[in-house]
Structure 1
Amino acid sequence: MKTEGNAKTSAIISYITIVGTIIAYFMNMEEKNEFASFHIRQAFGINITFYLLGALMGLFDQVFIIGAFYLFFIVLWGYGIITAIQGQTKEVPILGALFQKFLSTVK
C-alpha cells in the first residue's frame, strides 16, 4: 500500500478534528489512495462516535464517567494518528473494525 506524499498527509490531517477529516476526504478525491481512505474512515468513525456518545455524556454529572469517556477517545485518537504517522494501517482498538465495515463507502 502506497503511503508516500499526499496519501500520508491526508491520513494525518484526517485525525485533526472533524474539519481535518473533511479536508482529508476532499484531498483524497482525485487519487483515491487506499491508505488515506483507511485512515479517513477510522478518523471519521472516531469523530462521529465521539459526538454521538458525547451527547449522552451530557446527561451524566459524574467526573469519573466523563473523564473515562474523554480518556477513551484520546487513546483512540492517539493510536490512530500514530499509526498514520508510521505509515501503518492498524485499526483503532475496539471500534476500528466496525468503522471499516460501516463506513466502507467512504473512499
Structure 2
Amino acid sequence: MAGRVRRKLGLVEAEALVERAAEPERCVLCGRPLGAKVEWHHLIPKSEGGRETAPVHPICHRTIHALVANGELAGEYADVEALRARPDVARFVRWIADKPPDFHAPTRRARVGEA
C-alpha cells in the first residue's frame, strides 16, 4: 500500500463506521424506504466544518443542494425538521411521497428570487 497512510480509528470514527455498516432503512428527508442507491448528506456541509451525515435518496440529496445554499444549510437548516419545513422542500417532499425508492427525475436549480 505505497502512498497510503494507515492509522488507528478513534472511538467516534469506529462508531460511525458501525452505524454505516447497518443498512439505513429510511431517507431522513422524505421518510420513504431507501433503495439500491444511498447517499450520505452532511447535515452541516463539509465546507462549513460539518462531519455528521444522514442517509438520503440521490434525488432528495440533489434537491437539497439545488434549493438551499451551503451557508443556509450550516445555519438555520442544519436541523432536518427545519429543512423539511422550508416551503420549497416541503413541496418536494409532498411530491416525492408516493414515488418508488429508486425513482429518478432531473433536478433543476431554483431560479433567483424563487422560493
User: What TM-score comes out, normalization by structure 1 length?
Assistant: 0.31
Structure with more of its chain in helix, by fraction: 1
Higher relative contact order (CA 8 A, sep 6+): 1
Structure with more of its chain in strand, by fraction: 2
Q: Which has the larger radius of gyration?
A: 2
